[in-house]
């Protein structure tokens, strides 16, 4: 701020105005992840970006990859008599790895034809090729596809994508650039380098996402091309006392590359903000000695023993800190100010258990897969028991889950009677599930006392959170896939076996109380805590991998040939070097999360020579730059290790402490917040406010309105048969759909087919039949697919009348259709707290009287809306729904609604005469369709006003067409006074639509 004020008055006013302008325009900036940005650009490019608006972006390709592997494995090895060179498990692992790293080059390049490496490379290439085919066939793309497609669109020097992108974004800032992969940089470089002002922000010392595709080599190459390079030389996070220690330990160190160096910085905060800690050294190293484990010389301590000892020592240390009355920045230090940072979930679980056992609040969500939790195991056990409640073993296993909470002793003492009681409960819960879904089981279990029982356990909040999460996932899967209970059981078993990286698998936070935060380094990146504990930074397990990610010069490569390849040893060494480099940067990130204090441990474990802390402290001396990939010698005595650590202590880098477990002090209970009492509800509930729809509005004529409309899965705006009194007129052309069934399910199936079928298909009947087959899974109707398809062809060849200039549905392609336009908009103020005008349906009726001429076929509907049955309904809240289709015909936009109502005499053959204009008008009035037509017209008006440049209601609103499909008989459809049978055309005045929009918005009807 001082810099901004250091100028004369005129310049100061100018700078102030710039800041005000920047704040005002901040929301206009494009702020997105790389993938979001690519998706947005591809959509704007259209065909130039090789992007189909109809494709679905999927988070994970794991299921598709597994399917491809199964098929290709049979194709490659199905005829072999001997064991294949590549097992199915290895093939699946290989496929997932090559799909995970699409920008890599497969190695070895030219393996011998009879070698396993040749088989692996060929299989990997086939997987990638088949994946592209199936993705396009299914209309799906992955996040990586967004990048590669945009990169391809930018490939040519004169590509339109390059021109559009740098014109649209003259200034581009890329944050966290050190985690960029080669394809991301290719997109950024081709679009903006030497065209826009390109600012790349990143810290190569924090490049820790190689396993996700982040490529530090890409960063280093890009940095070399920068015109200007600037460095942040002040640490705004950590105290000067800690910065000094970290500079001693890390200063000048090469973190995987001579170009990635820890430089000196100054600290913003002088001294230390941590006061009153029992051990206040900024960097503490607690050394575990062999003697307490009965080990001597250079014998290593088992990691299983260390996972018992170190977490207990950690819990005691944290307990002492929390009970010492320490402060941070002049406020009491709390549990939430402490982070325990690890690299493995196994280490995190050990620390979590130790803290919980010591009574110290802790939270850990990093062990992310909910399907590996105890809750998932108990749900699987319960679902298995539902299938076989007659088997005592299954029932007793279910009784031991959290749902029942029976112990082994209780099961023994209860005997057959207890088993029978549990079996009866299982049958009852299974019935609930069939009637109301899986969530009903969870509700029943809670009513039987599960919550109180589980929450009384240690870690009960974690278990209840997982149970609720699993219930939601099971409910969603059952609804999405239409699973029965046995099918749901099989699905859950598969999920537990396969594993994936999908977001929904991540466990949820069990509570948000003040607690010690346990997390991995990757989660901790970007965060800060007053005190950071690194209990297992000295240890890193290194295994020889068959699939090795490495760099050959600047080229990122994936070696898939396995250990039999002649070049495997060299490749493996290169891969281990890159892993060690990543781990050095992980160590840097972990240490620099602390604001005031870092506490670490060292112990002589088997994997200690690979650990990041060991390589920094034992693998080098103070002021040395090189950090070895592995410490040598790999085994040293306690005295030799202490001698090296003492060098660092003498240099001012750390303070050595002996790791001896102390008694954990009891934490003071959180003081009660006062006596709890029930709050009295004294406000009035506005029962007129609701979220409703057209169907909800007209339903009021039959029943009392409710506060919220139920969700429906079938059409609720069609009546199968409508009794009409108007005489049928016109030629008796037989209806193509005369022999087809009626009902909401049939109508829903027809709607779904019309929504997804392409009218420009060369073989329309085949296209319709394919879509019928696809949707009949969800809407099974007793009719042959071919028969229904044949009956739906004529409607596509029926002239649509005056509003459509006589064109047919077959002549209006998908680009000129907006299908199933969902909407939701506020009625008279929506959810505003201020008083809204009292608007009722009768006001809509008054608008109809004011704007419709007497000869309008729907003019009489005004009386219906102003009558007592409908007119008294308040229009307050939100209106939602979905318009079947909007057709663009020339410069006009027409609302279309499909109807499958039966308008003829049930005892007579159905013909086109039953769908002549007078009968259609009567059907419209009978079913309150005019209200639906008006509401949908308002929706279209608002949409066009928002999206269409130079929109004019008089010019662009093209009216409404209700297509009664059973009366549309193709080219032979009778036409009376210009109106084809089955097509009801209505063009309400645009003034009526705009007036109704104003009425629903703020209660002001246009004059």
Q: Which residues participate in catalysis according to the annotation?
A: 897
Q: Residue 302: what are its φ and ψ, rounded to 5°?
A: -60, 135
- Kindly tell me the burial class for residue 113, based on how many C-beta atoms sit within 10 Å of its own C-beta (0-12, 13-18, 19 or more): exposed
Q: Contact at 8 Å (CB) between 185 and 202?
A: no
* Terminal-residue alpha carbon distance, the chain: 55
- For residue 796 the two structure tokens come to 């596509």
* Strands of the 362-364 sheet, one edge to the other: 362-364, 516-520, 338-342, 529-534, 594-602, 283-287, 655-658
List b or e across 948-984, with b for residues whose CB sees 16 or more CB atoms inside 10 angstroms: eeeeebeebbbbbbbbbbbbbbbeebbbeeebbbbbb
* Cβ atoms 751, 882 nearer than 8 A: no
3-state secondary structure of 961: strand
How far are the Cα atoms of 141, 860, 974, 982 from residue 724, in angstroms, in the given order? 50, 16, 20, 15
Quote the crossing angle between the two packed helices 764-775 and 785-796, to the nearest 10°: 130
Write the CA distances from 958 to 644, 854, 887, 930, integer angstroms. 85, 21, 9, 16
- The H or E element containing residue 529 is strand 529-534
Helix (H) or strand (E) holding 751: helix 744-756
How far apart CA 282 and CA 261 sit, in angstroms, is: 22
- Biggest distance spanned by C-alpha atoms of the chain: 108
CA distance 828 to 996: 11
Distance separating alpha carbons of residues 403 and 408, to the nearest angstrom:
15
Beta strand pairing call for 594-602 and 266-269: unpaired
User: Alpha-carbon distance 399 to 382, whole Å?
Assistant: 9
- Rounded to whole angstroms, the Cα distance separating 886 from 873 reads 28
What does the alpha-carbon distance between residue 986 and residue 338 come to, in Å, rounded to a whole number?
Answer: 69
Residue among 661, 774, 808, 766 at smallest CA distance from 286 = 661
How far is residue 615 from each of residues 583, 607, 611, 647, 730, measured CA to CA in Å?
Answer: 10, 11, 6, 15, 93
Best CA proximity match to 34, nearest among 197, 178, 180: 180
Distances (CA, A) of 660 to 122, 290, 309, 354, 400: 56, 12, 9, 15, 39
Count of other CB atoms within 10 angstroms of residue 698: 21
Q: How far apart are CA 796 and CA 813, in angstroms?
A: 11
857 CB-near residues (< 8 Å, 6+ apart)? 917, 921, 924, 986
Q: Which alpha helices (H) appear in 275-407, and where do they start and end?
A: 303-323, 345-357, 374-387, 392-399
88-98 residues labelled b (16+ CB within 10 A) or e (exposed): eebbbebbbbb
**Residue 78 burial (10 A CB sphere; 0-12, 13-18, 19+):** exposed
Coil vs helix vs strand at 639: helix
Give the DSSP letter string of 892-918.
Answer: EEEEEEEE--B-S-TTS--BGGGGSHH
SS (H, E, C) 434-479: HHHCCHHHHHHHHHCCHHHHHHCCCCHHHHHHHHHHHHHHHHHHHH
């Amino acid at each position: 701020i001082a810099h901004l004020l250091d100028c004369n008055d005129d310049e100061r006013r100018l700078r102030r105005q710039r800041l005000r302008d920047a704040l005002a325009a901040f929301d206009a900036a494009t702020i997105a992840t790389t993938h979001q940005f690519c998706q947005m650009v591809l959509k704007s490019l259209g065909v130039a970006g090789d992007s189909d608006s109809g494709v679905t972006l999927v988070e994970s390709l794991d299921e598709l990859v597994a399917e491809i592997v199964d098929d290709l494995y049979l194709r490659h090895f199905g005829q072999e008599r001997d064991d294949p060179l590549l097992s199915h498990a290895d093939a699946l692992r290989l496929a997932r790895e090559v799909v995970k790293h699409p920008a890599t080059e497969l190695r070895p390049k030219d393996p011998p034809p009879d070698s396993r490496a040749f088989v692996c490379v060929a299989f990997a290439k086939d997987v990638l090729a088949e994946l592209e085919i199936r993705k396009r066939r299914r209309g799906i793309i992955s996040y990586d596809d967004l990048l590669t497609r945009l990169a391809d669109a930018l490939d040519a020097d004169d590509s339109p994508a390059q021109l559009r992108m740098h014109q649209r974004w003259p200034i581009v800032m890329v944050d966290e650039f050190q985690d960029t992969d080669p394809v991301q940089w290719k997109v950024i470089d081709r679009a903006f380098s030497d065209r826009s002002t390109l600012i790349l922000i990143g810290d190569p010392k924090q490049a820790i996402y190689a396993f996700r595709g982040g490529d530090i080599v890409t960063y280093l190459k890009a940095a070399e091309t920068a015109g200007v390079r600037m460095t942040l030389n002040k640490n705004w996070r950590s105290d000067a006392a800690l910065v000094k220690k970290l500079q001693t330990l890390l200063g000048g160190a090469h973190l995987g590359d001579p170009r990635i160096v820890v430089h000196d910085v100054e600290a913003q905060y002088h001294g230390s903000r941590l006061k009153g800690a029992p051990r206040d050294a900024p960097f503490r190293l607690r050394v575990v000695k062999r003697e307490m484990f009965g080990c001597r010389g250079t014998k290593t301590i088992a990691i299983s023993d260390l996972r018992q000892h170190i977490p207990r020592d950690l819990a005691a240390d944290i307990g002492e800190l929390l009970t010492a009355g320490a402060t941070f920045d002049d406020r009491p230090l709390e549990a939430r100010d402490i982070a325990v940072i690890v690299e493995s979930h196994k280490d995190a679980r050990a620390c979590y258990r130790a803290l919980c056992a010591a009574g110290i609040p802790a939270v850990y969500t990093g062990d992310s897969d909910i399907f590996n939790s105890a809750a998932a195991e108990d749900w699987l056990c319960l679902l298995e028991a539902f299938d076989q409640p007659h088997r005592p073993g299954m029932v007793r296993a279910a009784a031991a889950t959290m749902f029942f909470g029976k112990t082994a002793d209780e099961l023994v003492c209860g005997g057959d009677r207890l088993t029978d009681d549990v079996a009866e409960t299982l049958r009852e819960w299974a019935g609930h599930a069939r009637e109301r879904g899986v969530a009903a089981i969870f509700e029943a279990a809670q009513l039987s006392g599960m919550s109180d029982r589980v929450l009384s356990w240690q870690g009960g909040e974690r278990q209840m959170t997982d149970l609720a999460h699993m219930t939601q996932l099971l409910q969603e899967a059952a609804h999405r896939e239409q699973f029965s209970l046995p099918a749901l059981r099989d699905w859950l078993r598969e999920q537990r076996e396969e594993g994936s990286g999908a977001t929904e698998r991540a466990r949820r936070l069990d509570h948000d109380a003040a607690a010690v935060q346990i997390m991995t380094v990757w989660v901790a990146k970007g965060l800060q805590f007053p005190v950071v504990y690194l209990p297992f930074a000295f240890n890193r397990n290194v295994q020889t991998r068959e699939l090795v990610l490495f760099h050959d010069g600047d080229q990122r490569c994936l070696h898939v040939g396995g250990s039999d390849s002649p070049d495997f040893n060299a490749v493996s060494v290169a891969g281990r070097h890159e892993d060690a480099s990543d781990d050095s940067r992980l160590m840097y990130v972990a240490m620099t999360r602390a604001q005031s204090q870092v506490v670490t441990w060292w112990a002589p474990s088997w994997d200690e020579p690979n650990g990041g802390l060991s390589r920094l402290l034992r693998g080098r001396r103070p002021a040395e730059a090189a950090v070895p990939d592995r410490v040598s010698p790999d085994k040293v005595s306690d005295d030799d290790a202490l001698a090296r650590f003492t060098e660092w202590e003498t240099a001012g880098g750390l303070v050595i402490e002996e790791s001896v477990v102390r008694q954990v002090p009891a934490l003071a209970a959180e003081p009660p917040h006062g006596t709890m009492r029930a709050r009295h509800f004294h406000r009035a509930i506005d029962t007129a406010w609701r979220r409703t729809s057209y169907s909800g509005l007209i339903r009021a004529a039959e029943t009392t309105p409710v506060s919220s409309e139920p969700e429906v899965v079938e059409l609720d705006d069609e009546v199968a048969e409508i009794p009409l009194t108007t005489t049928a007129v016109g030629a008796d052309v037989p209806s193509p759909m005369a022999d087809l069934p009626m009902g909401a399910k049939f109508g829903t199936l027809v709607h779904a087919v019309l929504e997804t079928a392409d009218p420009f298909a060369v073989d329309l009947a085949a296209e319709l039949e394919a879509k019928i087959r696809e949707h009949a899974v969800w809407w099974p109707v007793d009719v042959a697919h071919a028969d229904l398809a044949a009956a739906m062809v004529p409607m596509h060849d029926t002239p649509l009348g005056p509003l459509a200039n006589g064109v047919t549905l077959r002549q209006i392609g998908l680009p000129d259709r907006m299908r199933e336009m969902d909407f939701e908009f506020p009625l008279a103020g929506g959810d505003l707290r201020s008083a809204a005008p009292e608007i009722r349906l009768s006001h809509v009726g008054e608008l109809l009287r004011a704007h419709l001429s007497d000869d309008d076929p729907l003019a009489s509907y005004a009386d219906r809306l102003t009558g007592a049955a409908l007119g008294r309904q308040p229009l307050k809240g939100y209106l939602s729904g979905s318009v079947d289709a909007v057709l663009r015909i020339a410069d006009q936009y027409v609302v279309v609604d499909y109807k499958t109502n039966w308008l003829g005499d049930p005892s007579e053959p159905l013909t086109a005469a039953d769908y002549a204009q007078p009968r259609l008008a009567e059907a419209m009035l009978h079913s309150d369709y005019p209200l639906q037509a008006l509401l949908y017209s308002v929706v279209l008006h608002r949409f066009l006003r928002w999206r269409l440049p130079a929109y004019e209601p008089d010019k662009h609103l093209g009216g409404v067409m209700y297509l009664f499909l059973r009366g549309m008989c193709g080219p032979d459809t009778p036409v009376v006074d210009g109106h084809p049978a089955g097509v009801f055309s209505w063009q309400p005045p645009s003034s009526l639509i705009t007036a109704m929009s104003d009425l629903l918005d703020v209660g002001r009807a246009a004059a």
